[in-house]
A and B are shown apart, each in its own frame.
Chain A
């Protein structure tokens, strides 16, 4: 099956700093999503982004499907951004399955 790798696995930021999280996938995908798991365990969808670039406030995401990667940008980080960020893909080929990466754990300190 498809492999999904995220980097870095852990990240500590000072409040106000910017960061880039990366998601690499090993095969063609039909779609890609980014999620934030907050410290209470809830999974919040951030972006549905099979290709191109999207922005939502301080967050933006870019997927380059032909090169099999996606980037999540967090600007002017806040303590509420802390948690784990996951990307998830649906592999092409009609499999209908979703595969998650192992996540990037982000801690934003005041």
Chain B
């Protein structure tokens, strides 16, 4: 089954404790991206990747890191999480940026 898989689905953690949210797709897509969703603000793009080893900042990259060492995986890293990063996070993939995006089920992060 074609899908985008995020883990964990839910996480409660404390300020400053490094965490990684994994994202994996099985559709051989080149384009992958991370979004955060906050009430009243819709979805905002954090980082995107056009292919292996090619990443770029979206609209809200501060406090996040990403890597794209393999085509299927695109982890989101919070080196020192802070409460303002409490949000619902989505990973998405598509063949190219200009094609239909497929989303994971989301990861709800709470930073205390």
Interface members, chain A 42-69 (any B CB < 8 Å): 42-45, 48, 50
CB of A49 to closest CB in B, whole Å: 10
CB of A54 to closest CB in B, whole Å: 12
Q: How large is the interface on A (under 10, 10 to 19, 20 to 34, 35 or more residues)?
A: 20 to 34
Interface members, chain B 41-98 (any A CB < 8 Å): 41-45, 48, 50, 56, 58-59, 88, 90, 92, 97-98
Indicate if the CB atoms of B42 and A100 lie closer than 8 Å.
Answer: yes
If the complex has contacts A98-B48, A103-B42, are A30 and B98 also in contact, measured as CB distance less than 8 A? yes
Chain B CB within 8 A of A1 CB: yes
Given the complex of chains A and B, what is the CA–CA distance between A50 and B56 in angstroms?
Answer: 23
Chain B interfacial residues counted at CB < 8 A: 26
**A residues in contact with B105, CB < 8 Å:** 41-42
Given the complex of chains A and B, what is the CA–CA distance between A33 and B103 in angstroms?
Answer: 13
Given the complex of chains A and B, what is the CA–CA distance between A9 and B92 in angstroms?
Answer: 24
A-B contact count (CB 8 A): 62
A residues with CB within 8 A of B: 1, 30-31, 33, 35, 41-45, 48, 50, 86, 88, 90, 96-103
Ordered by A's residue number, 7 sampled pairs between the chains whose C-beta atoms are within 8 Å are A86-B43, A96-B50, A97-B97, A98-B48, A99-B45, A100-B42, A100-B45
**A residues in contact with B98, CB < 8 Å:** 30-31, 50, 90
**B residues in contact with A103, CB < 8 Å:** 42
CB of A92 to closest CB in B, whole Å: 10
If the complex has contacts A41-B88, A42-B106, A103-B42, are A88 and B101 also in contact, measured as CB distance less than 8 A? yes
Indicate if the CB atoms of B42 and A97 lie closer than 8 Å.
Answer: no
B90's closest neighbor in chain A, by CB? A43
